[in-house]
Structure 1
Amino acid sequence: MWQWCGRLKMDVIHLTQQLIQFPSITPLESGCLDFIETLLKEKGFTCRRLPFGEVDNLYARFGTSGLNFCFAGHVDVVSDIDASQWTYPPFAATIHDGVLYGRGAVDMKGAVAAFLAAAIPFIQTPFTGSISLLLTTDEEGPAINGTRKVLEWLKENQELIDVCLVGEPTNPLKVGEMVKIGRRGSLSFEIVVHGIAGHVAYPQLAQNPIPILIDYLREITKTPLDQGTTEFSPSNLEITSLDVGNTTSNIIPAKATARANIRFNTLQSELGLVQKLEEIAARYPLKIDILKCPSSEAFISKNPELIHVVNSAVKDVCGVEPLLSTTGGTSDARFIKDFCPVIEFGLVNATAHHIDEHIAVSELETLVAVYQKILENYFNASST
């Protein structure tokens, strides 16, 4: 049985600082992937850079046989917003009173550093199997040329991943509280009501789309979509914008638009939701178009072995039973779930995307310990 050797350590704090100092705002890698690739090659990983369009990606693997455990994540970050409002420069990676400040500290360069700090010492002790990392610079953006394209490349090249852990920040207040075993689906769409423009003094010669849009929005929001499931909260529709593009007060506009998003559970599907929206639209006297954006389906992990491996590691290291949850937004796990069993566990999400994004250095160290224990649990179980 493989056992973790506590003497083999990497400095996750310094690693996180180094990664933060690369200003890799989507879709730029800004040298961050170069740094990681160089480090992994030095440790014996086989690395493949996989650029698609303007997006750069990295797939690295140690080992050529046995079960392949993959850490997946992203090194791109959202904008620093107004850097002048930050207590410390967003890419300076400043530590103050035991807290590390910087864009990406939580989402998710801290977890990527923890991947490295757990995996590199692990491979220095004999084990049977492979460890891989899948890193993209397109998670915070359109998510078209990142993880999705890498998975297509892996499939075409018969590169198998047996299980995957995504390091998105999953915990509300403290590392160990929550493991994500699934995600709600997300459907963003635009509603366009087509009328006939005209002078407000002659409404009989025009068709005003605005009242129709208001009535339609009222109808699609008045009735709950469902009551939720054991694993998921009820599906929810939110109107996010209204626009007619009219700068005058004496013209009836030709069209009115709204944007909305539905976060939905496994009782719904993209196809079914769009059909419902279109069926309601067909009842109105003016033409209503439903224009959907790229979406993702709801999913839940059905792999009890992987859930047990992660859950028991969190419990052993943190001393608490984590909540198995499907809350929150979307992540690249929505693509990976069609490729192999996937689960998510990372840092505290309270300051993700915020000004002064930060994480306690002790939480980074805890996350490394959990990742170490996950690897130990997984490869011990596979060897029995």
Structure 2
Amino acid sequence: MAHTPIDPVQLSADLIRCPSVTPNEGGALALLDKLLSGAGFETHRVDRNGIANLYARWGRKGANRSFGFNGHTDVVPVGNPDDWSHDPFGGEIIDGVLWGRGATDMKTGVAAFAAAAIDFVHDTPPDGAVILAITGDEEGDAQDGTTALLDWMAKEGERMAVCLVGEPTCPNVMGEMIKIGRRGSMTAHFTARGVQGHSAYPHRAKNPLTAMVRLMDRLASHELDQGTEHFDPSTLAITTIDTGNPANNVIPAACRASVNIRFNDSHSGQSLTDWLWTEARKVQEETGVEISITTRISGESFLTPPGDLSTLVAGAVQAETGRRPELSTTGGTSDARFVKDHCPVVEFGLVGKTMHQVDERVEVELIHQLKAIYTRILTDYFA
């Protein structure tokens, strides 16, 4: 029976119509499961702690040559639907533009690589395996998404030789950027405990605000580094300082603050945690105010050094767009931070200008172009 090529735009629209706001599956993975299994992929639902995930493989298990795609079908909340020009879960195509939550981040990326994979294995069955690892928990805590898939793969003897994450990577125009690594990310929460007192008699109190402001200024004024070969300088941002004190004549007993650090390969989460504690102890000794810290490390910095994988992807991008992409490590975190412990990984996808915004949208021609790039990557990998 003749094979009808998969339209990535229609598939994108169908996925957008699935209200898969984290942690809800919304029907998106069920749709992909049916499509991929019908195309000859062996599929497995890998659900953990109420989070839905999908693993699909065409070809033999354990093949030495196995190209993997990773992406997510969960999306962030839409906010006030009345602020949208079109139904955020309508998947409407108007004047060559696809509208809806997930139109850039990243249901279109998943649709493009699923469509490319299905058509590729039908038209030119490769000597090896094509793998799709798709999660429903990238926009949330990411504890039971791609990590669950990788844990399941290790248990079952499944493996990708290399992987491409289909996150939007291009800042302004299609084809301008590939991610070959990501900065690490961590958040630190500080609590300063002093002694409450009357503001007219500050000598009878220990003001936790004085200590906290001094500590925050030291942290924010400190130059973490000047960048490295592949990374921009690390950054620290104060995100909140809270006392909950409604009285202007009371020195409060406690104060809380938080910072977020995006760090390059000059640091680790542990080295930065040690530095935060060192600075906190200095202020504690100076002021007599007790300071405690809790940290959460979302991911360490990582780099896939320029080489065969980045050259393969860059060549396909250039062939389809006419642009030689920059190899970058900018931006926030992605699930590539988990995949890098499994195999070499890079990221390439659409222009991400409207991701997480009201009126998220993308030109349909770019979705077709993305499928063509992914198809060329598969063709060149298995050539």
Q: Counterpart of 2:356?
A: 353
Are the equivalent residues in 1 in contact too, given 2:195–2:205 (CA < 8 A)?
Answer: yes
One-letter amino acid of the counterpart of residue 98, structure 1: G
**Alignment of 1:22 onto 2:18:** yes
Give the alignment of 1:232-311 within 5 angstroms. Answer: 232-284=231-283, 285-302=288-305, 304-311=307-314
For structure 1, the 5+ residue unaligned runs are 1-6
Query: What TM-score do you get using the length of structure 2 for normalisation?
Result: 0.95
Cα deviation digits, residues 147-201 of structure 1 (max 9, x gap): 1122112112221111110000000122211110110111111111111223334
Q: Counterpart of 2:82?
A: 84
Q: Counterpart of 1:210?
A: 209
Q: Counterpart of 1:336?
A: 339
Are the equivalent residues in 1 in contact too, given 2:207–2:289 (CA < 8 A)?
Answer: no
For structure 2, the 5+ residue unaligned runs are none
Are the equivalent residues in 1 in contact too, given 2:64–2:161 (CA < 8 A)?
Answer: no
Are the equivalent residues in 2 in contact too, given 1:66–1:128 (CA < 8 A)?
Answer: no
**Alignment of 1:40 onto 2:39:** no
Distance between the aligned counterparts of 2:224 and 2:208, measured in 1? 25
Distance between the aligned counterparts of 2:236 and 2:162, measured in 1? 33
One-letter amino acid of the counterpart of residue 276, structure 1: W
Report the CA distance between 1:251 and its aligned residue: 2.4
One-letter amino acid of the counterpart of residue 79, structure 1: P
Give the alignment of 1:35-74 within 5 angstroms. Answer: 35-64=31-60, 65-74=63-72
Distance change in 2, residues 1:313/1:8 (3 Å): farther
Cα deviation digits, residues 253-312 of structure 1 (max 9, x gap): 111111111111101111111111101111123221121023211111036111111011
Are the equivalent residues in 2 in contact too, given 1:303–1:341 (CA < 8 A)?
Answer: no
One-letter amino acid of the counterpart of residue 320, structure 1: R
**Alignment of 1:138 onto 2:121:** no
Q: Counterpart of 2:119?
A: 121
Distance between the aligned counterparts of 1:198 and 1:141, measured in 2? 41
Report the CA distance between 1:126 and its aligned residue: 2.3
**Alignment of 1:31 onto 2:31:** no
Moved over 3 A (4+): none
Are the equivalent residues in 2 in contact too, given 1:138–1:147 (CA < 8 A)?
Answer: yes
One-letter amino acid of the counterpart of residue 153, structure 1: W
Distance between the aligned counterparts of 1:192 and 1:72, measured in 2? 39
Query: What TM-score do you get using the length of structure 1 for normalisation?
Result: 0.95
Instruction: Identify the range of structure 1 (295-304 vs 355-364) with the bigger mean alpha-carbon deviation.
Output: 295-304
Distance between the aligned counterparts of 1:126 and 1:143, measured in 2? 33
Distance between the aligned counterparts of 1:96 and 1:109, measured in 2? 18
Structure 2 residue matching 1:282: 3-state secondary structure: helix
Give the alignment of 1:184-223 within 5 angstroms. Answer: 184-223=183-222
One-letter amino acid of the counterpart of residue 145, structure 2: G
Q: Counterpart of 1:3?
A: none
Report the CA distance between 1:203 and its aligned residue: 2.8
Instruction: Identify the range of structure 1 (94-103 vs 203-212) with the bigger mean alpha-carbon deviation.
Output: 203-212
Say what the alpha-carbon RMSD is for the aligned residues.
1.2
Distance between the aligned counterparts of 1:50 and 1:63, measured in 2? 19
Are the equivalent residues in 1 in contact too, given 2:189–2:294 (CA < 8 A)?
Answer: yes
One-letter amino acid of the counterpart of residue 12, structure 1: P
Instruction: Identify the range of structure 1 (263-272 vs 251-260) with the bigger mean alpha-carbon deviation.
Output: 251-260
Distance between the aligned counterparts of 1:92 and 1:302, measured in 2? 41
Are the equivalent residues in 2 in contact too, given 1:174–1:363 (CA < 8 A)?
Answer: no
Q: 1:367 aligns with which of 361, 364, 370?
A: 370
